[in-house]
Amino acid sequence: MLDSDEWPDEPDEPDPEARWGSPEDDLVSVPGIDLPGEDAEDAGTEVDSDLAKFFWVTVIYANVALAGVSIGLMLVGFRGQAVWGGGAVAVGLFALYRTYDLYRTYQDHVAAEESEEAEDADSEPSEHNG
Question: Which of 27-31, 45-49, 75-79, 95-99 has the least mean pLDDT?
Answer: 27-31
**Residue 37 identity:** G
Identify which of 1-5, 39-43, 48-52, 70-74 has the greatest average pLDDT.
70-74
pLDDT at 28 over 80: no
Query: Does the structure show a pLDDT above 70 at 62?
Result: yes
Q: What average pLDDT does the chain have?
A: 82
* Domain ranges, ordered by start, for the chain: 3-33+47-122
Which residues neighbour 106 within 8 Å (Cβ) at sequence distance 6 or greater? Answer: 50, 51, 54
**Based on the number of CB atoms within 10 Å of its own CB, is 4 exposed (0-12), middle (13-18) or buried (19 or more)?**
exposed
Cβ atoms 86, 75 nearer than 8 A: no
